Amino acid sequence: MSRLQAGLFGAWEFIVGDDWRVALGVVTAISLTALVATSTVAAWWVLPVGVVALLADSLRRAARQARRH
């Protein structure tokens, strides 16, 4: 692995961590909030709902994986 590859891998591990779906979900939830904010509907609730859903989904997968081992 070259230094560049190692650096990119390190940055990915540092920012994204061990569950890339959470990072992708956060970006999606913030984008969705921005989209709703442009309408006449209140947008403050979108991100909290998304965050709880992401946490539940990530925990569910982790719990299932842990119980399998």
Partner 1 sequence: MSGPELGLAVSVFAACAVEAVEALTIVLAVGTTRSWSSALSGAGAATVVLAGVVVGLGPALTSLPIDVLRAGVGGLLLVFGLQWLRKAILRASGLKAFHDETAAFAEETEAARAAARAAAGFDAYSFTIAFKGVLLEGLEVAFIVLTFGANQHRIPLAAIAAGVAIAVVAAAGVAVRAPLARVPENAMKFAVGVMLTSFGTFWGAEGAGASWPGADAALLVIVPVLLAISLTFVALIRRGALSAAAQAPVTAGGGA
Binding residues for partner 1, rule: CB under 8 A, are 14-19, 22-23, 26-27, 29-31, 33-34, 36-38, 42-44, 46-48, 51-52, 54-56, 58-64, 66-67
The minimum distance between CB 5 and partner 1, in angstroms, equals 19
Task: Tell me whether residue 2 or residue 69 sits nearer to partner 1 (CB atom).
Answer: 69
| Amino acid (one-letter) located at 19 | D
Q: Which burial class, exposed, middle or buried, applies to 52 when counting CB atoms under 10 A from its CB (0-12, 13-18, 19+)? A: exposed
Give the nearer residue to partner 1 in terms of CB position, either 3 or 14: 14
Q: Please give the torsion angle defined by the CA atoms of residues 9, 13, 18 and 22, in that order, rounded to the nearest 10 degrees.
A: -110
